[in-house]
Chains A and B, each alone.
Chain A
Amino acid sequence: MNVASLDQLWVYLSGNPLLSLLTTLLVFALSVRINRAVGGTPLLHPVTLSIAMLIALLLLVDMDYRAYFEGAQFIHFMLGPATVALAIPLYDHRERVRSLLWPLLLACGAGIVTAVASTLGIAMLLGARTETLLSLAPRSVTSPIAMGIAEQIGGIPSLAAGLVLLTGSIGCALGPWIFRLLRIKDPVVQGFTLGLAAHGFGTAHAFARLGAVAGAFSGLAMGLTGLLTAFLLPLITRLFGFG
């Protein structure tokens, strides 16, 4: 009987989408366990933890992102239909959305202006380079929209996508503290705020932790913020003297 040597096996496995798909699922399952074991703290959010562990693992075995994505793209693909599925909780809570339409729209506008102005203001004070600045600006919008906007206003699209992801995990970690500080308990407000400030990450977090009502409003905030930012951001950056 011939036994293949280990490095031959590795060459086969690392070129096969099965490995990264399986690893992603296992690492995520492990992260959920770890998060539960430390009492569900948002600082070690399962997503953030999985991403950190997977990056460490990939660097360790020297596999590049493209090879990893060959397998992981099957999970990534489901983001599309999942985004469409956000219409279901939104439909379930349509009466509530309709009755709160104006407060929601105004809060959305206030949130976007705060996000963009504070981002540009703080980053300028700290002396970030212009490209970085303009890639930071659309950071609270879901990544495909953010990439488009960054390109439009003169940032770096791929950097913008990375910053969007960082914003998402920071938003999920800070959210519960801010809500406690402001004594906000309403799942509608919590969900909407998370969806606005932390886009899809926030929405996923709202669904997982705060329930379907928060998830529905979070999804609504994510969509609304994306749409409004695409129109508002070029105007605000011009106000700050860019472009």
Chain B
Amino acid sequence: MPLIMGMSVLLVCQFAGELVARGLTLPIPGPVIGMVILLVALMIHGRVPSSLRLTGEGLLRYLTLLFVPAGVGLMVHFELIGMDLWPIVLTLVASTAVTLGVTAWVLERLQRFHTRRNARSEGKS
């Protein structure tokens, strides 16, 4: 039964998320709100039930596979992409590289600064 229980918990959270998203006409997808709901529930509960961990971690291990069907949908957009092929390809590659670089650099710096400051304030007290 653990798989059934775990899956039910995930689906209940997703369902609640969808209801919130639709009900308040938020531009955020239901599952993302469902994730927040589950996180809050786990914090209140204080631990992850083993059934939920079994199901959830099983799903996350194959997360890459789950993107394949949507990815194949790219074939529907060939025509639209083809109209602006080079601008699109160059923009995506260049901008993704810059985004990766800037984010990683900023976070690395901030994190180092943060831990150093924390260490210093702990040293004082």
Contacts and interface: CB of A to CB of B under 8 A. Distances in A.
A and B associate in one complex: yes
Contacts of A168: 67
Given A136-B88, A149-B27, A79 B67 contact: yes
Interface in B55-97: 55-57, 59-61, 63-77, 80-81, 83-84, 86-88, 90-97
A122 B90 contact: yes
Given A51-B72, A170-B93, A203-B63, A88 B48 contact: yes
Contact of B72 (A58, A88, A126, A193): A58
Interface string A51-80: 100110011000001001100110110111
B103 interface: yes
Contact of B99 (A54, A89, A196): A196
Interface residues of B, number: 75
Given A51-B71, A82-B60, A179-B104, A197 B96 contact: yes
A28 B68 contact: yes
A111 B100 CA distance: 8
Contacts of B27: 145, 148-149, 152, 230
Which secondary structure dominates where chain B touches chain A? helix
Interface residues of A, number: 110
B43 A72 contact: no
B111 A83 contact: no
B19 to A, nearest CB: 13
A230 B90 CA distance: 24
A78 B31 CA distance: 11
A111 B95 CA distance: 11
A55 B14 CA distance: 30
B72 A55 contact: yes
Which secondary structure dominates where chain A touches chain B? helix
Contacts of B94: 118, 122
Interface in A176-235: 178-179, 181-182, 184, 186, 188-190, 192-194, 196-198, 200-201, 203-205, 207-208, 215, 219, 223, 226-227, 230
23 contacts: A24-B69, A51-B74, A58-B72, A79-B31, A83-B32, A85-B10, A86-B60, A87-B13, A91-B43, A107-B106, A118-B94, A118-B95, A123-B88, A127-B87, A162-B81, A165-B71, A182-B101, A184-B108, A186-B108, A192-B107, A193-B104, A200-B63, A203-B63
Interface of A: 24-25, 27-28, 46-48, 50-51, 54-55, 58-59, 65, 68-69, 72-73, 75-76, 78-92, 94, 99-100, 102-104, 106-108, 110-111, 114-115, 118-119, 122-123, 126-129, 132, 136, 139-140, 142-145, 148-149, 152, 156, 158-159, 161-163, 165-171, 174-175, 178-179, 181-182, 184, 186, 188-190, 192-194, 196-198, 200-201, 203-205, 207-208, 215, 219, 223, 226-227, 230
Interface of B: 7, 10-11, 13-14, 17, 27-32, 34-39, 42-43, 48, 52-53, 55-57, 59-61, 63-77, 80-81, 83-84, 86-88, 90-108, 110-111, 113-114, 118
